[in-house]
Structure 1
Amino acid sequence: MNKIKYTLLGLLGIFCLILFWGLLEPYLIDTEEEVAEIPGLPASWEGQRVALIADWQIGMWMDNTSTIRRIVKQLIEERPAIVLIAGDFIHDPGKDPSEEINKAVEIVRSLPLAGIPTYAVLGNHDYAMKNKHAPPDEKLAAKLHDALESVGVQVLQNEAVAIGKTGGNTPLYLVGIGAHWSNNDKPKVALAPVPEGTPRLVMMHNPDSFEALPPNTAPLAVAGHTHGGQFRLPFTPEWSWMTFTKEDEVHADGWIKGYGQPGNRLYVNRGIGFSIIPIRLNCPPEVTLFTLQSSL
């Protein structure tokens, strides 16, 4: 009898420890340093750093705005050449989305003010879509789009722009793809303005958009959406709750091998916020810093 009691107490202790860590980990920032090769990269971009963050989910109960603010402050100190934000600024806008939109805008405002060019795409939550079958709220997305643009964040929706530090006659293009769940992702439309063979990097919210990119059009593509699974088994980061609950192939975080067309490479950021509950296990919020270099 005592053995059973102590076993149950031990299991309860382990559960409490896991719960405590799960509530603490969202406030521990993990900065991932990665090297990304882009064919024909202009000399002025050689060695420059590109920062990627995603999935703020502002408006969820216990949303992680304190960590978002710390990350933005960190990026201002790091001073990358550009900052990319891969969608899902807000979580659940409710009847009046103005509070969530204003909070997101107020946080992100300091990046352009600090002189760091900042670009974004929208995600499914920015259309008030908690699942694939929910109707997209185009008006909400338009409000968020306009609010971000008003503070200097350029929001890309199936379009491409030549970004700074071009040098010489060959620019570096940034391609931004629209939200997948709202059927606004049109990779070929986004790539159309980019001359063939011109160096580029591609940003999207949902990794599922990556598969539609033609071969050799995205040597560096970045996405968010998955939160890295949010709960991952220790010592086996490729195994998360998504592995067991999703019917589709899971592309949760990091460099995704064997996915997409030849010549394309995707990196998925774990994001900052949450889905369903405000807990992360073995899956801390991520800032990704890519150092760009040319490849043959």
Structure 2
Amino acid sequence: MKPKKRLFWGIVSIPLFLLFLVGWGLIEPYILDEEEEEAIIPNLPATWEGKKIAQVSDFQVGMWWDNVKTVKNSVEKIIEERPAAVLISGDFIYHALPDSDPEIKEVVESIRPLTEANIPTYAVLGNHDYGMNSKKTQPKLELVDKLEKALENAGILVLKNEVIELPLPDTNNQDENSKLYLVGIGSHWAKNDRVDETLAQIPETSPRVVLMHNPDSFEAFPPNAAPFAVAGHTHGGQIRLPYSPQWSWLALAKEDKVFADKWAKGYGAAGNHLYVNRGIGFSDIPIRINCAPELTFFTLRSQEE
């Protein structure tokens, strides 16, 4: 090929490649990735061995282009699987102001089928649920109260620095030897993630699952206090290079450290393990590249097999 032709096709190929990326970025948000993971919980009761827990995160309903279709798809997949519990790690809405009612209604109607199917569903709230698009924004407590009431009216228990006993699947009996606790941590950006206060509500060696929105909250856990924890918030970076999850658009554009997805290796105190879900919605632009929305199923184990 002559040099001029090579130059011509080189110049033409750049916008064509960018156009392809944008096109794919608009398609990938609708390709739900179902991840299967094992979660090790020391002192896990035998009755919980092998049970499954599902996690979804970051619906971001109310953005100028949201992903409600994939939210509903994830709910359908969960109902098919029928896990022992569902954990939703915050950011139900995006910027549902000044009138939050339509977005809250859409969120509730999208996930209500979980509780109608009698699957115990629990949640914590994220920064967008407080109307915070940056750490400098003042939390909007009226918005939080409205969202929390709507979720709980739909049967979804919202935890803010609280601990509950997870109901044992397939039985009404819950003795001391079968207790598994769920630890729900409040919003980090709203300065409401009180880890020590929350951990004081349970015995030190008790088996537990820890639910939070922002991975930054994980750093406050003392050693062995969070052997299995889940978070969201980062969207997996949303747009990222193949095989280099830390090189992502959100890692470069946001002030926070971005733990892209999956197990955050080397992060937190000894004996603690955090899984970061990529979420379903978007931040700023409705595109995902090399970062499909995620639904995660965890199989609970007392030790590695």
Task: Calculate the TM-score normalised by the size of structure 1.
Answer: 0.97
Deviation at 1:295, TM superposition (A): 2.7
Which of residues 49, 52, 56 in structure 1 aligns to 2:52? 49
* Unmatched tracts of structure 1, length 5 or more: none
Query: Could you tell me which residue of structure 2 aligns to residue 11 of structure 1?
Result: 14
Amino acid at match of 1:236: S
Deviation at 1:108, TM superposition (A): 1.2
Q: Which structure 2 residues correspond to residues 169-208 of structure 1 after superposition, within 5 A?
A: 169-170=176-177, 171-208=179-216
Q: How many percent of aligned residue pairs carry the same amino acid?
A: 54
2:246–2:258 contact (8 Å) kept in structure 1: no
Tell me whether 1:105 sits opposite 2:112 in the alignment.
Answer: no
Deviation at 1:195, TM superposition (A): 1.0
Deviation at 1:80, TM superposition (A): 0.7
* Unmatched tracts of structure 2, length 5 or more: none
Summarize deviations over 1:240-267 as a string: whole Å, max 9, x none: 1244345554322110111111111100
Amino acid at match of 2:215: P
User: What is the SS of the residue equivalent to 2:55?
Assistant: strand
Query: Could you tell me which residue of structure 1 aligns to residue 135 of structure 2?
Result: 132
Deviation at 1:106, TM superposition (A): 0.8
Amino acid at match of 2:44: L
Which of residues 213, 221, 226 in structure 1 aligns to 2:229? 221
Distance, in Å, in 2 between the alignment partners of 1:247 and 1:129 is 14
Deviation at 1:239, TM superposition (A): 2.5
Question: Which 4+ runs in 1 deviate beyond 2 A?
Answer: 1-5, 235-239, 241-250
Distance, in Å, in 1 between the alignment partners of 2:151 and 2:191 is 21
Tell me whether 1:144 sits opposite 2:152 in the alignment.
Answer: no
Query: Could you tell me which residue of structure 1 aligns to residue 276 of structure 2?
Result: 268
Query: Could you tell me which residue of structure 2 aligns to residue 86 of structure 1?
Result: 89
Amino acid at match of 2:134: N
Amino acid at match of 1:188: D
Distance, in Å, in 1 between the alignment partners of 2:92 and 2:253 is 25
Query: Could you tell me which residue of structure 2 aligns to residue 30 of structure 1?
Result: 33
Query: Could you tell me which residue of structure 1 aligns to residue 118 of structure 2?
Result: 115
Task: Calculate the TM-score normalised by the size of structure 2.
Answer: 0.94
User: What is the SS of the residue equivalent to 1:109?
Assistant: helix
Distance, in Å, in 1 between the alignment partners of 2:254 and 2:112 is 36
Query: Could you tell me which residue of structure 2 aligns to residue 65 of structure 1?
Result: 68
Deviation at 1:169, TM superposition (A): 1.6
User: What is the SS of the residue equivalent to 1:95?
Assistant: coil
Summarize deviations over 1:137-171 as a string: whole Å, max 9, x none: 01101110111000100000000000111754231
Distance, in Å, in 2 between the alignment partners of 1:237 and 1:30 is 16
User: What is the SS of the residue equivalent to 1:39?
Assistant: coil
Query: Could you tell me which residue of structure 2 aligns to residue 287 of structure 1?
Result: 295
Say which is worse superposed, 198-207 or 3-12, in terms of deviation: 3-12
Say which is worse superposed, 267-276 or 250-259, in terms of deviation: 250-259
Q: 1:132 to 1:70 in 2, by over 3 A?
A: same
User: What is the SS of the residue equivalent to 2:176?
Assistant: coil
Distance, in Å, in 1 between the alignment partners of 2:99 and 2:143 is 10
Distance, in Å, in 2 between the alignment partners of 1:19 and 1:250 is 22
Distance, in Å, in 1 between the alignment partners of 2:254 and 2:282 is 17
